Amino acid sequence: MTEQELIAGLKRGDESSFQYLVETYKDLVYNTAYGLLQQAQDAEDVAQEVFLQVFRSIQSFKSEAKLSTWLYRITTSRALDLIRSKKSKKRFGIIQRLWGGDEEVALDIPDLHHPGVAMEQKEDAEQLMRAISKLPDNQRIAFTLHKLEGLSYQEVSEIMENSLPAVESLMHRARLNLRKILEQQILK
């Protein structure tokens, strides 16, 4: 099925087209979400939200970009929304504890089961994933899409709706920041 046929089927509400979409793009969506969130359950939740959003808003898709680019955009947006939501909940939990609330704040420690990580490299990968999670949002998105998902700078720029030089700059700053973060982790 071509991309145009898939989009046309989705716009008609064809169930087999939606199943084809999920089967074709589930790994792309899940792996991108996992790369940003580093939690398997969160990545699964975001993946479900992404496909629901596609189902609900496919009529507004203009085909100006590839379908995969649109899926990456939705996935990164949903993942960042979840990250922001968790940060807000953590801040509220800390405030509650300061004012005598009884609830403990749960720390999110990544459970690494990313398909590309070999067992003997799990510890190094865990350090890297923790370091990636400390990057500013735009740097984390650019780094995840380019290095973990293997997308070109051009593809990343389309997904992030940034210029190519902006993505190159984000990647440069992400590498510098990762180096600093990893050096601090080693010194601890």
Give the pLDDT confidence of 96-154 residue by residue, as tens digits. Answer: 444 444 443 334 444 445 555 455 466 677 778 888 888 998 999 999 889 888 889 99
- Confirm if 34 and 59 have CB atoms less than 8 A apart: no
- Return the C-alpha torsion angle 65, 69, 75, 81, nearest 10: -60
The CA distance from 2 to 126, in Å, is 38
The CA distance from 101 to 20, in Å, is 48
Pick the closest to residue 70 from 114, 25, 109 (CA basis). 25
Give the pLDDT confidence of 59-82 residue by residue, as tens digits. Answer: 988 878 889 999 999 999 898 888
Do 112-188 and 1-110 have the same topology in CATH?
no
So where are the chain's domains? 1-110, 112-188
The answer to pTM > 0.85 is: no
Specify the CATH class of 112-188 in words.
Answer: mainly alpha
CATH topology of domain 1-110: Rna Polymerase Sigma Factor; Chain: A (1.10.1740)
DSSP 148: I
For the chain, give me the number of helices (H) and strands (E)?
Answer: 8, 0
